């Protein structure tokens, strides 16, 4: 037997709709098909137990197992709620996550995680426009999001990248089908003093289909079938993984407007650099700017010294990506390959900038090698 089309969330929703309309036999048949497809799906097994009890008489609520640990029942109730909410409250078809403003051509796909709804969304780069591909139920940190310290059992919020692929054979059974580490802490995390390591996308143990919504030490956990499906789209070192507390959705018109505005800010910075007008160039940097060598004052002195020896400068930005950061601050992450040419120096570097809005204008608060 196979589960109903639409996956386990659709099957659960249909079964519970049957229950609300008194069709217990039909609901039980749906759940039986779901368990046949996913034998270790504990939530489905609990609902099946309720349906069997309901055949003997009225039941008082979800999870009528007298000897079951209350915390386990609470976990399964939480899973049922977030799965059904996500299934019933899907984003409009013509809306996209605010964060995916510009993917570079080599980035074929992007991942966006919503910790509040325990959902992971996969988008394709369709000639520059994000196009929905799939979404999956996930588990995240036991104590929620916004990771700050090692061991705080929280999932980070920010823009990250898949850094490697760890196959099942190199891991113990706890990680299931495999794992994809991501680049936490990123450059901005380090600037803010955030630490910790080992944040992965990974699967579940062989005896577990899915875990409760808040069940990891900070990782993003998928079912093994979902991780295997997702893994086929991920590009090591290229695919962005943007983790948010609650996804902001934009109409395509508003998305295009934000993309254009940020693109113009980046182009103005590039153009002013070529002009050799140091004052105009530095106007794109926040007074709070910092990099790994120091703050704005050190950066300003360095750029004035360098500019004094230049008779011409040409800068091109290739493989440009622009992602809105999902944190509380109005921030964007800009990555590119910088091709720099001048009368006495030429080089090509991979760089990353963090831009923040100040007084209604985008300014750079961090710049460094990517």
- Segments making up each domain of the chain, as ranges: 7-88, 95-250, 251-369
Summarised one tens digit per residue, pLDDT across range 317-330 is 999 999 999 988 89
Least confident segment among 21-25, 52-56, 228-232, 258-262: 52-56
Q: For residue 122, what is the DSSP state?
A: E
For 157, phi then psi, to 5°, come to -115, 130
Using CA atoms, how far residue 255 sits from 62, 97, 278, in Å, is 41, 8, 32
Q: Is a pLDDT exceeding 80 seen at residue 3?
A: no
pLDDT at 1: 35
Percentage of the chain lying above the pLDDT 90 cut: 86
Compute the mean pLDDT over every residue in the chain, rounded to the nearest whole number.
93
Least confident segment among 153-157, 192-196, 197-201, 324-328: 324-328
Task: Tell me the β-bridge partners of 108.
Answer: none
142 contacts 109 by C-beta, under 8 angstroms:
no
Give the list of residues 6+ apart from residue 249 with CB closer than 8 angstroms, or none. 91, 92, 95, 96, 97, 98
Q: Which helix (H) or strand (E) holds 364?
A: strand 361-369
Task: Give the pLDDT mean for 239-248.
Answer: 97
**Ramachandran sector of residue 213 (left: φ over 0; alpha: ψ -120 to 50; beta: rest):** alpha
Task: Give the pLDDT mean for 4-29.
Answer: 86
Q: For residue 182, what is the DSSP state?
A: B
Reading the block at residue 41, the tokens are 């799906």
Q: State how far the Cα of 111 lies from the Cα of 95, in Å rounded to an integer.
A: 16
pLDDT band at 4 (very low <50, low <70, confident <90, very high): very low
Q: State how far the Cα of 142 lies from the Cα of 118, in Å rounded to an integer.
A: 12
**Nearest Cα to Cα of residue 122 among 220, 213, 199, 37:** 220
With H, G, I as helix, E, B as strand and everything else as coil, classify residue 308: helix
pLDDT band at 158 (very low <50, low <70, confident <90, very high): very high
Least confident segment among 18-27, 300-309, 332-341: 18-27
- Residue corresponding to tokens 């006495």: 344
- Residue corresponding to tokens 């979902």: 226
Percentage of the chain lying above the pLDDT 70 cut: 95
- Please provide the CATH number assigned to the domain covering 95-250: 2.40.440.10
> What fold is seen in the domain 251-369?
Nuclear Transport Factor 2; Chain: A, (3.10.450)
pLDDT band at 99 (very low <50, low <70, confident <90, very high): very high
Q: State how far the Cα of 311 lies from the Cα of 47, in Å rounded to an integer.
A: 74
Q: Is a pLDDT exceeding 80 seen at residue 66?
A: no
103 contacts 66 by C-beta, under 8 angstroms:
no
Q: State how far the Cα of 152 lies from the Cα of 196, in Å rounded to an integer.
A: 9
């Amino acid at each position: 037997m196979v589960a109903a089309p639409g996956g386990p969330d659709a099957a659960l929703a249909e079964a519970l709709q049957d229950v609300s309309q008194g069709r217990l036999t039909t609901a039980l048949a749906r759940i039986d098909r779901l368990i046949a497809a996913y034998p270790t799906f504990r939530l489905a097994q609990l609902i099946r137990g309720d349906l069997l009890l309901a055949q003997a008489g009225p039941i008082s609520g979800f999870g009528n197992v007298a000897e079951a640990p209350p915390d386990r029942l609470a976990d399964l109730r939480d899973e049922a709620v977030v799965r059904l909410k996500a299934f019933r409250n899907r984003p409009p078809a013509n809306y996209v996550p605010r964060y995916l403003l510009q993917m570079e051509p080599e980035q074929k796909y992007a991942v966006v995680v919503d910790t509040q709804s325990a959902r992971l969304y996969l988008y394709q780069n369709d000639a520059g426009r994000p196009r929905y591909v799939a979404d999956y139920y996930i588990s995240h940190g036991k104590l929620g999001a916004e990771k700050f310290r090692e061991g705080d059992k929280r999932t980070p919020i920010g823009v990250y990248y898949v850094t490697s692929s760890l196959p099942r054979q190199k891991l113990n059974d706890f990680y299931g089908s495999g794992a994809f580490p991501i680049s936490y802490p990123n450059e901005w995390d380090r600037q803010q003093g955030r630490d910790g390591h080992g944040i992965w996308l990974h699967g579940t143990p062989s005896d577990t289909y899915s875990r409760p919504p808040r069940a990891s030490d900070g990782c993003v956990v998928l079912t093994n079938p979902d991780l295997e499906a997702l893994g086929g789209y991920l590009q090591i070192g290229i695919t962005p993984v943007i983790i948010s507390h609650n996804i902001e959705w934009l109409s395509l018109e508003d998305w295009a407007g934000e993309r254009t505005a940020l693109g113009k800010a980046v182009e103005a910075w590039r153009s002013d650099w070529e002009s050799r007008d140091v004052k105009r160039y530095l106007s794109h940097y926040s007074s709070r700017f910092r990099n790994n060598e120091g703050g704005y004052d050190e950066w300003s002195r360095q750029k004035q010294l360098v500019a004094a020896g230049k008779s011409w400068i040409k800068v091109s930005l290739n493989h440009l990506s622009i992602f809105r950061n999902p944190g509380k601050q109005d921030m964007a992450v800009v990555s590119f390959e910088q091709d720099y040419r001048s009368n006495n120096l030429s080089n090509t570097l991979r760089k990353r900038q963090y831009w923040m809005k100040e007084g209604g204008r985008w300014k750079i608060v961090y710049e460094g090698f990517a």
